Chain A
Amino acid sequence: DIQMTQSPSSLSASVGDRVSISCRASQTISRFLNWYHQKPGKAPKLLIYAASSLQNGVPSRFSGSGSGTDFTLTITNLQPEDFATYYCQQSHSAPFTFGQGTNLEIK
């Protein structure tokens, strides 16, 4: 099974900041990597698919990069609605594992 490791597990930032979250796969997954965020009590929302493609309706301040085993989600000009928990997920092969999550908090 492919293990996904996110870092950091938590992050404090201010509105207007630029932040990055890393995700590492235990084996190569090409670009089969997706990013989600989730707010309390809500279903997760897809932000980025195929490592760097922006899902329809997602603001352009979100971007993704990477391939193989190392991936990054970057958020520029943080907005109040961006404070949430972020997850990476590999869609290369079942089981379609998630990272453990990164909690992005307001500083």
Chain B
Amino acid sequence: EVQLVESGGGLVKPGGSLRLSCAASGFTFSSYTMNWVRQAPGKGLEWVSSISSTSDYIHYADSVKGRCTISRDNTENSLFLQMNSLRAEDTAVYYCVRDVVFAYWGQGTLVTVSS
């Protein structure tokens, strides 16, 4: 069974940093592009970033470019999102999602940016 479990969310002050993690199991992690997708409270879905299976191709939404870094560890079946210079508008549930057709999602981790 495919499982994606996010962690690392929490309350952080504006300008602060957080590192989100996603532990994957139940599939060959090293074969898949992985993504972060977020959803602000009461708002729609926003794709944030993707990383190819071997980390050769990385993309970011304009809203986080320059402030976030996606990475992965295929030996540990883990996906990461380093988030810096956080803003109030980054407040959202962050989902770890497999592949470019988003059939498998984690349960999400809440990031709250507030003073």
**Residues on A facing B (Cβ under 8 Å):** 1, 34, 36, 38, 43-44, 46, 49-50, 55, 85, 87, 89, 91, 94-101
A70 to chain B, nearest CB (A): 20
Residue count of chain B within 8 Å CB distance of chain A: 19
Contact between B103 and A49, CB atoms less than 8 A apart: yes
Q: Does B89 contact A (CB under 8 A)?
A: no
The answer to whether residues A98 and B47 also contact, given A43-B95, A43-B106, A43-B107 and a CB cut-off of 8 A, is yes
**Residues on B facing A (Cβ under 8 Å):** 35, 44-47, 50, 59-62, 95, 100-103, 105-108
Contact between B100 and A96, CB atoms less than 8 A apart: yes
The answer to whether residues A46 and B47 also contact, given A95-B59, A95-B61 and a CB cut-off of 8 A, is no
Q: Which 9 A-B pairs have the closest CB atoms?
A: A94-B59, A43-B105, A91-B100, A101-B44, A98-B45, A46-B103, A96-B47, A49-B101, A100-B44
